[in-house]
Amino acid sequence: MSDVVIKAEGIGKSYLIGHEPKGKDKYVALRDVIADKTKGLWSKIRNPSLYEHKDIEEFWALKDVSFEVKRGDRVGIIGRNGAGKSTLLKVLSRITEPTRGRVSIKGRVASLLEVGTGFHPELTGRENIYLNGAILGMTRQEIKRKFDEIVDFAEVEKFLDTPVKRFSSGMYVRLAFAVAAHLDPEILLVDEVLAVGDIGFQKKCLERMQSVSNDEGRTVFFVSHNLDAIVSLCSKCILLVDGNSIFFDKVGSAIDAYTTNNLTVKNPVNFENVKGFGDMIGGRLLEFGVFDAKGAPASSFSMWDVMQLTLGVFIENLKIRWQISIAVMDKSQRVVSILNSEWSDADLNLKAGKNIIRVSIPKMDLFPGTYSLTPMLRQEGIVSTHKINNAFTFEITEPQTKRGFLNISKYSTGSQVWVNHVWEKTDGEIK
């Protein structure tokens, strides 16, 4: 147990994004605040109900990230753009606070999210080593002790007293990385910084990171789009998908999962370690899967495709009249539709213990876009007993008709639900 150096439990980070009219500054100006407040006051007087509406949307960059990392592990973090990789590193390095969840860290953390953070172009190489070292958390004594080593590693001894603004970009990167590589933290967080710099030096850096973790038992987190670097450096891997994490003990399987196009999240999703919402008395959700017509796990469907949802539910109390429902939500977390066992008149015949419930959707009548599913277990008339927000995210793509792929999205109608209908030409009068 004592070997666990970082333990993350359900970290989530949300940002508020405002939808301002185009062309406006992204900064908040006091002038606007005053203007808006005044406007708001006026409309509040005239029309109180409208006031509730705000152009601010909550965006969860990280939804539910949990993992345990042991001393000496080299953990790769992979995922698509916007999956939350950088946000995760920012939370771990304390640059930004998580909105929910908790991380316990044992040992000193140093983060290298950018090459040469705080380098000042006017200062010399020597001065910048001290400056950068201090910024990364080294004491002056430490830097003094390692100074020669750093200069050696960076291969810049001739230019130590030249302002770094005259350095070539290669020298600049080497110097910056050399400082970082000589940090003595128990945990090192490295973001995509090796993308710059020549290949020989990149290799040297990878070796250095490998050796500090092997010989000195350091823990390294490494974010990269370069899968080869991940394979050669890392021993464990975290795959981030839309702000959710999947931890892999083997890098190979993480890469497989990442490169297999369809698998954007573990499917079926298991809720055993997810708390969700609700008291979970008398019953709880266990797992949730999304499948295509053939029963294969899928997360991308054409419009009008067959979709099958499977839900594992654990029931203890049979006396309660249980309702199972699944909310379909759009990107802005608005409920588009609700599938509810009660309203469908379903006779599920639940038994005590584990039940597997299947919901078949013969035709998914949603317009192209990204949607998410929130399964709920609830008692009639009462708030949900167990609910997992956005348990699964899926995508509806353009449908193929006789005339090829439609391109509905380009009309940006804002339409989400397709109403089943038929067009035909009739004879005679309107009636």
| 62/329 with CB nearer another protein | 62
| 117/416 with CB nearer another protein | 117
Stretch that binds another protein, among 26-34, 153-161, 218-226, 252-260 (CB under 8 A): 26-34
Bridge-based pairing of strands 369-379 and 322-330 is: antiparallel
Q: In what order do the strands lie in the sheet with 244-248?
A: 4-18, 56-70, 244-248, 236-241, 74-79, 219-223, 187-190, 109-112
| 34/383 with CB nearer another protein | 34
Size of site (CB under 8 A) for another protein: 46
| 109/377 with CB nearer another protein | 109
Distance between CA 320 and CA 303 in Å, rounded? 37
| 187/229 with CB nearer another protein | 187
Structural contact between residues 212 and 184, judged by C-beta atoms closer than 8 angstroms? no
Q: In what order do the strands lie in the sheet with 283-291?
A: 269-270, 283-291, 307-315, 353-361
The burial class, CB within 10 Å (0-12 / 13-18 / 19+), for 246 is buried
Which residue, chain included where needed, has tokens 């975290």? 238
93 binds another protein (CB under 8 A): yes
Instruction: Say which DSSP state 399 is in.
Output: P
Distance between CA 363 and CA 370 in Å, rounded? 17
82 binds another protein (CB under 8 A): no
Among 94, 144, 331, 358, binds another protein (CB under 8 A): 94
41 binds another protein (CB under 8 A): no
Task: Kindly write down the DSSP assignment for every residue of 275-335, as one continuous string.
Answer: --BS---SEEEEEEEEE-TTS-B-SEEETT--EEEEEEEEE--TTS-EEEEEEEEETT--E
Residues numbered 3-22 forming contacts with another protein, rule: CB under 8 A = 15
30 binds another protein (CB under 8 A): yes
C-alpha closest to that of 108 among 221, 219, 233:
219
x/- binding map, residues 176-195, to another protein, per CB under 8 A?
Answer: ----------x---------
Nearest distance from C-beta of residue 31 to another protein, angstroms:
6
Distance between CA 147 and CA 153 in Å, rounded? 10
Among 19, 39, 54, 102, binds another protein (CB under 8 A): 102
Among 75, 103, 311, 373, binds another protein (CB under 8 A): 103
- What would the two tokens of residue 175 be? 């110097």
Distance between CA 224 and CA 195 in Å, rounded? 8
| 38/270 with CB nearer another protein | 38
140 binds another protein (CB under 8 A): yes
Nearest distance from C-beta of residue 151 to another protein, angstroms:
18
Four-residue CA torsion sign, 168, 170, 172, 175: negative
37 binds another protein (CB under 8 A): no
Nearest distance from C-beta of residue 350 to another protein, angstroms:
37
| 6/151 with CB nearer another protein | 6
160 binds another protein (CB under 8 A): no
Among 25, 272, 380, 429, binds another protein (CB under 8 A): 25
Instruction: Say which DSSP state 269 is in.
Output: E
Residues numbered 382-421 forming contacts with another protein, rule: CB under 8 A = none
Structural contact between residues 54 and 65, judged by C-beta atoms closer than 8 angstroms? no
Among 52, 97, 347, 424, binds another protein (CB under 8 A): 97
Nearest distance from C-beta of residue 112 to another protein, angstroms:
9
| 113/350 with CB nearer another protein | 113
Chain residues that interact with another protein, rule: CB under 8 A: 15, 25, 27-31, 33, 90-109, 111, 113-114, 117-118, 120, 122-123, 127, 130-131, 134-137, 139-140, 186
